[in-house]
Amino acid sequence: MAIDYQAHIVRDPAICGGEPVVRGTRVTVRTVLASLAEGMTVAEILRDFPTLDDAAVKAVIAFAAASAEEDLPVPPAPSVA
């Protein structure tokens, strides 16, 4: 089952300059992704950002995956000849 990241991730020009953040916090998607990229575990992220929960971290990952998918070029259709 796909995670509904839209329930957890919001963009508001009045919060963090409109960067996507976890709803109800000022924790940016970029911050969570950078923490994961640096090798932090979800438990470590939750300890450092107590306003987050496991579902929020999963939503950040789902948001990043959806965003990356939108940016990927569509491969050409294979030839049927």
Angle between the N-to-C axes of helices 29-37 and 54-71, in degrees from 0 to 180, rounded to the nearest 10: 90
Where does residue 2 rank: exposed (0-12), middle (13-18), buried (19+ CB within 10 A)? exposed
| pLDDT tens, residue by residue, 27-46 | 999 999 999 999 999 999 99
The answer, yes or no, to whether residue 69 has pLDDT greater than 90, is: no
Check residue 4 and give its pLDDT: 84
Domains of the chain, by residue range, sit at 5-71
Residue 22: phi and psi, rounded to 5, are -75, 130
Of 42, 77, 38, which is closest to residue 61 (Cα–Cα)? Answer: 42
Query: First CA to last CA across the chain, in angstroms?
Result: 37
The answer, as to whether pTM is greater than 0.95, is no
The answer, yes or no, to whether residue 52 has pLDDT greater than 90, is: yes
Is the CATH number of domain 5-71 2.40.50.140? no
